[in-house]
A and B are shown apart, each in its own frame.
Chain A
């Protein structure tokens, strides 16, 4: 049942209960006024609950089902990836919603623009958000760069250099300049590892998201491919960049918090947050 019909059915049922009890409130004789009070309270609760369906109808069934204080709206994952890796899929009300993300690579900075170019840039951006007849979500996302691979490479080089340094220390024929050179290399990798781990490395991406729905996964996937290509072409023509559809794991950075903040950068963020708190206290 589509959600709007569901909402109306719940509303009509509860409002009808309210009307029935409101009408019954006037029927008991004056001697049975506590009964009238009880009927009135039921009618008033029904009236408030009936109005609340306008915004909270989706909570009613889960609240009735919940046994503890935890109300489960959806026991499944928030989304799943499409087979071709071009979209994320959400199942809702017997429909499949497919969402694709289109990356907009904008590399220009306002420091390189004169006033007219800045004005034109803002205008172009205004046009970008209005290129689709269906709703479009345009996002500017600042996120932490995943440095796991880079740190692993630097650590491996450091271990390699340290092994060579240890080996050369045991070698009685090794010259002092040779020893100093390898020691210098170890120090260099150490410093690099320290700076990479401590530095706050962030990237800014702009992307647009569009959604279509279909009765089956195949239908939704075919439609979203067409829609995403249409929006990418529109953005490319409007902004003058080569917009492309985001695929595979790259999409997770846009929707999942643990991909937006990869594990290696958590310590950086925590350190930054602590510094900020200390500064605020001072």
Chain B
């Protein structure tokens, strides 16, 4: 959660708490105020952590259709962007898909290499099974190399210190030593890759597909089928796939026309690392 969101939460919650504190003295009415206060707190937290649930519910309830630009509509279900052109409805939907794993977790370097070697085969197998238009998008921004390298070197220094401390102890634990050594190897591999010219990146990955139909409902039904099929096909990469809805769908739709700035990326999304 970024600074801006924390400020928004803090001030909004402060208003709610002020209402609760001022309201408790009114007896039964005070009790109602307190209940409303807690409902408001719940709403604020839901918007903060699960607005993809709240916003479509809100647009469905009020029957709101959003027109993001001329010729396009976002229906009240907030799960697709529809374009009507030449008597045909084009429904476009999005899925999250974090494949690109540059900043690897605590895994062995050997496994990382194997995963990289297997990726082209997996990709081609996936593509061969898809018979409708789709896009796999990676929005990436390279991090500041020097700063990232210094961070890694500091981490490596700390681990090397822990390793030497462990070996100098009276009863060194072989399992612990192995774990520390593996962590050092992982960090060293990252430093080496940076030395070879590779830059660490922050990225957002998503899949986009478009379906057609002679009615809006038909196009949206077909889109749901296509997205389900894409989820199945891309499972080969062992991904966590979810349908993008509401606000984030509108944002990624705009990425077609304008690649976002670093500020927008960091403030609107929890970036995938």
Q: Chain A interface (Cβ within 8 Å of chain B)? A: 4, 11, 15, 18-19, 22-23, 25-26, 30, 33-34, 36-37, 40-41, 43-44, 46-48, 50-56, 59, 63, 69-79, 88, 90, 92, 97, 99, 109-111, 113, 115-116, 118-119, 121-123, 126-127, 129-144, 200, 202, 204, 209-211, 254-255, 257-258, 260-261, 263, 266, 269-270, 272-273, 276-277
Contact = CB atoms under 8 A, between A and B. Distances in A.
Given A90-B258, A122-B116, 18 more contacts: A30-B25, A30-B27, A53-B8, A56-B247, A69-B64, A71-B65, A72-B67, A77-B69, A77-B70, A122-B120, A129-B203, A131-B142, A135-B141, A137-B255, A140-B135, A255-B257, A257-B83, A260-B210
A36 B18 contact: no
Interface in B233-273: 247, 255-263, 265, 268
Contacts of B119: 118, 122
Interface stretch (B36-44, B150-158, B165-173, B177-185): B36-44
A33 B26 contact: yes
Interface string B1-29: 00011001101111110110111011101
Given A111-B124, A255-B256, A132 B22 contact: no
B25 A47 contact: no
7 contacts: A37-B32, A47-B12, A51-B8, A119-B113, A135-B259, A143-B133, A276-B229
Interface of B: 4-5, 8-9, 11-16, 18-19, 21-23, 25-27, 29-30, 32-33, 36-37, 39-40, 43-44, 47-48, 51, 55, 62-73, 83, 85-86, 88, 90, 92, 100, 102, 113, 116-121, 123-124, 127, 130-142, 197-201, 203, 210-213, 222, 225-226, 229, 247, 255-263, 265, 268
Contacts of A139: 135-138
Contacts of B85: 257-258
Most buried by A among B8, B68, B268: B8
Contacts of A204: 127
Contacts of B30: 33
Contact of B140 (A46, A99, A110, A138): A138
A137 B259 contact: yes
The 10 closest A-B pairs by CB, nearest first: A26-B22, A110-B120, A257-B90, A130-B199, A51-B12, A33-B29, A22-B18, A78-B69, A47-B15, A18-B15
Contacts of A273: 132, 211, 222, 225-226
A130 B100 CA distance: 12
Contacts of A269: 132, 211-212
A191 to B, nearest CB: 22
Given A44-B40, A51-B48, A121-B120, A211 B198 contact: no
B37 A44 contact: yes
A143 B92 CA distance: 13
Given A37-B33, A47-B44, A75-B70, A135 B262 contact: yes
A135 B222 contact: no
B83 A258 contact: yes
B22 A51 contact: no
Nearest to A270: B212
Nearest to B4: A54
A71 B257 contact: no
A257 B88 CA distance: 11
B86 A263 contact: yes
Which secondary structure characterizes the binding site on chain A?
helix
Contacts of B229: 276
Contact of A137 (B4, B11, B117, B138): B138
B66 A73 contact: yes
Contacts of A71: 64-67
A53 B11 CA distance: 12
A227 B134 CA distance: 27
Contacts of A140: 135-136
A134 B124 contact: no
Contact of B70 (A37, A69, A78, A260): A78
B257 A90 contact: yes
A78 B257 contact: yes
A48 B43 CA distance: 7
Given A40-B23, A69-B63, A73-B69, A126 B198 contact: yes
B31 to A, nearest CB: 11
A142 B258 CA distance: 20
A122 B101 CA distance: 11
